[in-house]
Amino acid sequence: MRDCSVHERPDGKRWVGLPAKPVLDSEGRHRKDPATDKALWLPVVEIRGKSERERFQRAALAAIDKLRGKP
């Protein structure tokens, strides 16, 4: 899977962001949510179900740690 991102907060919480593409308006500009002014994104890959997403996150982070040589 391409275009995943790894994130880590200062408190140590980590997660893998799955690929998404921008939602564009009719003129090709990145649309924003009118209520929050945040950019809108459409998931390219979606894992349905909380337990399935959590299992994916654990496995993906473990694989990343292994590649980086972390225990």
Question: Quick one: average pLDDT of 2-11?
Answer: 95
Question: Quick one: average pLDDT of 29-39?
Answer: 97
43 to 46, 52, 60, 68: CA distances (angstroms): 6, 16, 18, 27
For residue 70, pLDDT beyond 90: no
The owner of tokens 């694989």 is 63
For residue 71, pLDDT beyond 80: no
Helix (H, G, I), strand (E, B) or coil at 16: strand
Question: Quick one: average pLDDT of 24-29?
Answer: 97
For residue 50, pLDDT beyond 90: yes
pTM of the model: 0.76
Q: What is the pLDDT of residue 59?
A: 97
